[in-house]
Amino acid sequence: MNVMAKAEKKISSAFIYFFGSFGGILFGYDIGVMTGALPFLQADWHLENAASLVGWITSAVMFGAIFGGALAGQLSDKFGRRKMILMSAIVFVVFSVLSGVSPDMGEASAYYLIIVRMLLGLAVGAASALVPAYMSEMAPAKARGRLSGLNQTMIVSGMLLSYVVDFLLKDLPGEWAWRLMLGLAAVPALILFLGVLRLPESPRFLLRKGDEAQARKVLSYIRKNPAEIDQELASIKETAKEERQSNQKTSWSTLFSGKYRYLVIAGVGVAAFQQFQGANAIFYYIPLIVQKATGQAASSNLMWPIVQGVILVVGSLVYMWIADKFNRRTLLMVGGAVMGLSFILPAVINWMMPNMNPMTIVVFLCIYVAFYSFTWAPLTWVLVGEIFPLAIRGRASGLASSFNWIGSWLVGLIFPIMTASMPQEAVFAIFGIICILGVIFVKTCVPETRGHTLEEIEEQGTNHGRVKASNPEN
């Protein structure tokens, strides 16, 4: 026992925050990898004119993630964040390998890959729900935006890694290229599994289960001031006591009770808007977008995903620098407005100047990605991690993750179908309108969470529910 205790004491806060957010690498890699693999897969399986099948292969991971996020969020309330992250890593390793060894059976191959990628999506969705919850529960309030933003840095680093791998493998024979691109996703998943083996459980989960001694020990790894530890423990215990006194078992209907409805709608709404704004249309299909704009073969445009990936990584670092200097709502509204204009202006310019340079749309897409990278991309997961009260955090985070993945799946599925039937500029203009609607939603429905403890945020929701109850006409 003493040996184990000594080993635990060697866990540094840097190690905890690094591997606590490392699940984002898996998320990001699988978002990005199909971008480079798809042109080779289309050629190998002769899918150039099968828009709906291409959409399903691309979006299958997101479809599985819808259910993975909800399931993992619920199970994490029972078994803990750490154990579920470990399970997600195992599932990711298995189905990444099975994706890379897809049999060549004609059209049946496409259906096999769709099913395998749906099952892989269970792990991707789980990571998207678990990592923000774990990081928000480990990070102190004053640095929660920056540390939770590590999740986004990991996601975009995973995307950039997949783009670089795609580029390095592009000169292999077509069949080998896409198989290695997909199969190598197992490597970061294995690294995650080994790292999480040494991670402690969330102190809030431990206290909820009645293990105060272990919760104090975990907080001692990541809080330097004993008084801060005592204060945080007292705050968490008070919240847990109120939950027990209410004698209320949480269920899906609990999420939309008067006490929690305001915060759940805010968190789930932001998560949904992030995807319906169309960002993943760029990340999944940028080589095909450039091909349609310029006429160059998609397989020769694999440098563009790397450009997008670099912008995303730089943007995530910018966010970590400004995260706790500006209000969450301000960043979301400014970012959403610029993103909307970046999608709408190419359609307006093309309408006024029909001979517009086809690369103009790509330039505007880069502007979109730049603002998305330090506003909606990281802040969605920061808000999902911090806005939900402890009693419902697992379920609510899972629900938010599922809505996020529903948007991601639909965008991935319908974008190639839409661009086959209408100009690209018109498709992106539709996404631009959704961006503006997202700004209005943040303005009217989302509370400010910067600098507040998780317990203070919960109190905001409770007070809002009381106001609504006493003023139903509002």
Q: What is the pLDDT of residue 474?
A: 43
Domain boundaries, the chain: 14-470
Mean pLDDT over 233-253 rounds to 67
pLDDT of residue 469 exceeding 60: no
pLDDT of residue 31 exceeding 90: no
Cα-based distances in Å from 461 to 466, 467, 473: 9, 10, 18
Written as six digits, the tokens of 127 are 């990571």
Distance CA 80, CA 72 (A): 10
**For 343, how many CA atoms within 13 A lie in the half-sphere containing its CB?**
26
Q: Are 439 and 277 in contact (CB under 8 A)?
A: no
pLDDT of residue 299 exceeding 90: no
Q: Is 413 exposed, middle or buried (0-12, 13-18, 19+ CB in 10 A)?
A: buried
pLDDT tier at 132, thresholds 50, 70, 90: confident
Q: Are 401 and 62 in contact (CB under 8 A)?
A: no
In terms of phi and psi (left: phi > 0; alpha: psi -120 to 50; beta: otherwise), the region of 46 is: left
Q: What is the pLDDT of residue 222?
A: 76
Distance CA 279, CA 275 (A): 6
Distance CA 30, CA 120 (A): 9
pLDDT tier at 144, thresholds 50, 70, 90: low
Q: Are 415 and 285 in contact (CB under 8 A)?
A: yes
Residue type, 66: I
Written as six digits, the tokens of 305 are 């995903």
Residue with tokens 């009381």: 466
pTM of the complete model beyond 0.85: no
Q: What is the pLDDT of residue 297?
A: 63
Tell me the backbone φ, ψ of residue 216, rounded to 5 degrees. Answer: -65, -40
Mean pLDDT over 142-155 rounds to 71
Cα-based distances in Å from 350 to 353, 358, 366: 5, 9, 17
Cβ partners under 8 Å of residue 168, min gap 6: none
pLDDT of residue 332 exceeding 70: yes
Cβ partners under 8 Å of residue 12, min gap 6: 221
CATH class of the domain at 14-470: mainly alpha
pLDDT of residue 7 exceeding 60: no
- The percent of residues in the chain predicted with pLDDT above 70, rounded, is 87
Written as six digits, the tokens of 80 are 């803990």
